[in-house]
Amino acid sequence: MTSLIDRLQNHEFESNVTLFQLVFYSVEREICHAVIRRFPPIMDGPQLLNLGCAPHIYPGWVNADDYSIKRRLRERSFRPNWSLDITRPWKCSNEHWDGIFTEHVIEHVSMRACEHVSYSEAVKVFKECLRTLKPGAWRRVSVPDVAKYAQHDGVEQLSPDAPEFAARALAISFATQMHLNRSAWDVTLMTRVLKETGFSEITAVSIWGGHRSTPDQG
Integer Cα distance of 93 and 132 in angstroms:
6
Which of 72, 71, 55 lies closest to 63, judged by CA? 55
Within a 10 A sphere around the Cβ of 58, how many other Cβ atoms? 17
Q: Which class is domain 16-143+182-217?
A: alpha beta
Distance between CA atoms of residues 46 and 177, nearest Å: 36
Question: Distance between CA atoms of 162 and 189, rounded to whole angstroms?
Answer: 22
Q: What is the per-residue pLDDT for 182? A: 84
117-121 long-range Cβ contacts below 8 angstroms, 24+ apart: 117/182, 117/183, 118/182, 118/183, 119/183, 119/193, 121/87, 121/182
Can you tell me the distance from the alpha carbon of 146 to that of 152, in angstroms, rounded to the nearest whole number? 10
Q: Residue 98 in contact with residue 50, Cβ under 8 Å?
A: no
**pLDDT at res. 80:** 94
Confidence (pLDDT) at 75: 85
Q: Please tell me the predicted confidence (pLDDT) of residue 213.
A: 42
Hey, CA dihedral for 141, 146, 148, 154, is it positive or negative? Answer: positive
pLDDT tens digits for the chain (218 residues)? 678 778 777 767 666 667 777 788 888 888 988 998 999 999 999 999 999 998 999 999 999 998 887 778 888 888 999 999 998 999 999 999 999 999 989 988 765 544 445 888 899 999 999 999 999 999 999 998 999 888 877 656 666 666 677 788 888 888 887 777 888 899 999 999 999 999 999 999 876 554 444 554 43
**Sign of the CA dihedral 89, 30, 111, 77?**
positive
Using alpha carbons, list the distances in angstroms from residue 99 to 35, 61, 67, 95, 160.
28, 10, 22, 10, 24
